[in-house]
Structure 1
Amino acid sequence: MSHYEPPLIDAHRIIGGRSYDFSRRVAVMAIVNRTPDSFHDRGRTFALGKATEAVQAAAAAGADWIDIGGVPFAPGPPVSIEEELDRVLPVVQAAQGLTVVSVDTYRPEVAREVIKAGAGVINDTSGLRDVAMADAVAGTDAALVITHSLAAPRTLHPSPRYGDVVAEVGDFLRARVQVALDHGVRPEQLIIDPGPDLNKNTGHTLELSRRLPDIAGLGYPLLAAVSNKDFIGEVLDAPQRERLSGTLAAVVFWILRGARIVRVHDVRAAVEAVRMTEAMLGYRAPAYLQHNI
């Protein structure tokens, strides 16, 4: 399988004060959740001390970005804006200077505060369901991730139906990108995420994976949020804690199909898989040359 080189709009980006050339680089985004009910962590980093330790460990393992979440996308008990800020702001502050800080939120009020605190990325899993999110990011230096989903966060959406999942996801992202642009967000701020498993079954996510160039071809850096998701578990018949190999395979496949940012739980393994993939694509030189020299 030949790899796909997406026709990127503004491949050279300054994000969180750091320079990225997405024509030659894949960024690894580590996940740190300050939630008691995240689908994979199950509260492992809910305590502030544990979250801070996870941030430091992710940076030491080579993460380019750290994505901090205070409210899961999946249904669960309500979390107020104030509580979400109480969860994420201390972690944003703890991550300053270590790496690029991203915050996973769909609330404009939270986005404004974390950008002030130094967040360089807003990861909006709702796909600008509240257009005020675009206003919160416009005029700042923060990047904005726009994600496809059918339902609002914290909402059940069983048995999703699509005529052509790839075409519909592409149309959604194209329309929401235009909303962001109309509200003053600059093209070089935008990142897209087709939302694997978000209101999609395993068949939908596998189809998205196979035809990912149709989405990456929109021209904005594409984020692969595939880590430990249920489509991997259903393909491999693997429980939640036994999906690392499947995750790494999915990460590499999505890079070859055009992804330029990968969002992962197991940072060191993903960093090594990504850096090896970059080297084999000719994007990165080896750390050293000794064998048969």
Structure 2
Amino acid sequence: MGDLGGFDVANETAQTTSERVEDVRQQSKILPVLEALHQEGVLTSIETYYPQVARECLKVGANIINLTGSQDNQEIYKQVSEFDAGVIICYVQGKNVREVDDFNFGNDPTDLMYDYFAKKIEIATQLGVRKIFVDAGLGFYYKNLEDSALRIRFKMKTFLNTFRLRKLGFPVCHALPHAFECFGEEFRSAEPFFAVLSCSAFKLV
């Protein structure tokens, strides 16, 4: 891997109100970028929920598929296995990141996440995937989490409960908030703050 480290490349914003980018346009935009980065030895993950986009990205050297959908997963898992790549399984309450409504908290959101991941991991491993990460999907735009204070509070609670996902046996990814509303001009301190909070949950158990 080169000095540039790695990049997580997104084809479209997760905001549900923004323009959708269909699979053909996603490929035309991202494939040249991924191929160039691969030639430089840079590790790349690509965010998508389209099986065809995933396959074409893997062909040009993408190392990880950041799976932001809950449907058509088996086809993508097969592709990941075929290319000996990795997959980030995102927790999505909806068909994909662009088609979500209100977040269902249930009695315990972490329990819901655990059950979701356990089922997806079982399917992925049965199809030959070995390099797996899980992501709580905290960067997704659910309608009842638009209030910044509520959203930040939910994310903090999720960070503190991340340790409960360790039993799944795979690394956990988190989208760290900027929290402009709380940190103001010191917003660059937000991500380190939330990172420490998340890591502390592991240290305390």
Please tell me whether residue 134 in structure 1 is matched to residue 77 in structure 2: yes
Q: Does 1:112 align with 2:55?
A: yes
Structure 1 residues 192 and 127: alpha-carbon distance in aligned structure 2, compared to 1, 3 A threshold: farther
2:197 maps to 1:253:
yes
Partner of 1:91: 33
Select the structure of larger CA radius of gyration: 1
SS at match of 1:154: coil
Match of 1:290 in 2: none
Alignment counterpart, residue 135 of structure 2, candidates 189, 193, 200:
193
Q: 2:172 aligns with which of 201, 222, 246?
A: 222
Preserved contact between residue 84 and residue 129 of structure 2 (Cα < 8 Å): no
**Given residue 34 of structure 2, which amino acid in structure 1 is its aligned partner?**
V
Instruction: Please list, as runs of the form range in 1=range in 2, the aligned pairs for 1:37-186 lying within 5 A after superposition.
Output: 59=4, 64-75=5-16, 76-96=18-38, 97-127=40-70, 130-151=73-94, 152-158=96-102, 160-186=104-130
Report if aligned partners of 1:128, 1:134 keep a CA contact under 8 Å in 2: no
Separation in 2, partners of 1:100, 1:193: 18
Q: Where does structure 1 differ by over 4 angstroms across 4 or more consecutive aligned residues?
A: none
Q: Deviations over 1:137-165 (max 9, x none)?
A: 12222111001021222124135432201
Deviation at 1:73, TM superposition (A): 2.5
Q: How far off its partner does 1:179 sit? A: 1.6
Q: Identity of aligned pairs, percent?
A: 21
The 2-side partners of 1:202 and 1:253 are apart by 12
Partner Cα distance (1:204, 1:65) in 2? 28
Q: Which amino acid aligns with 2:106?
A: Y
Deviations 1:172-220 (A, max 9, x none): 111111121222323xx11111122434643332221111100133210
From 196, 205, 209, the counterpart of 2:155: 205
Residue-pair matches, total: 192
Amino acid at match of 1:139: E
Matches within 5 A, 1:25-44: none
Contact map agreement 1:74 1:155 (CA 8 A) in 2? no
Distance 1:159 1:102, change over 3 A: closer
**CA-atom RMSD in angstroms:** 2.5
Q: CA separation in 1, counterparts of 2:122 and 2:84?
A: 19
Q: Which amino acid aligns with 2:8?
A: D
Q: Structure 1: 5+ residue runs without aligned partners? A: 1-17, 19-55, 259-293
Q: Can you list the C-alpha shifts for 1:21-59, whole angstroms capped at 9, x where unaligned?
A: xxxxxxxxxxxxxxxxxxxxxxxxxxxxxxxxxxx9x92
The answer to whether the Cα contact below 8 Å between 2:86 and 2:129 also exists between their aligned partners in 1 is no
Given the two structures, how large is their TM-score scaled by the length of structure 2? 0.82
- Equivalent-residue separation in structure 2 for 1:209 and 1:252 (angstroms): 10
Inter-CA distance 128–225: structure 2 relative to 1 (3 Å threshold): farther
Query: Is the Cα contact below 8 Å between 1:120 and 1:142 reproduced in 2?
Result: yes
- Aligned mates of 1:256, 1:100 — CA distance in 2: 28
**Distance in 1, Cα, partners of 2:157 & 2:72:** 25
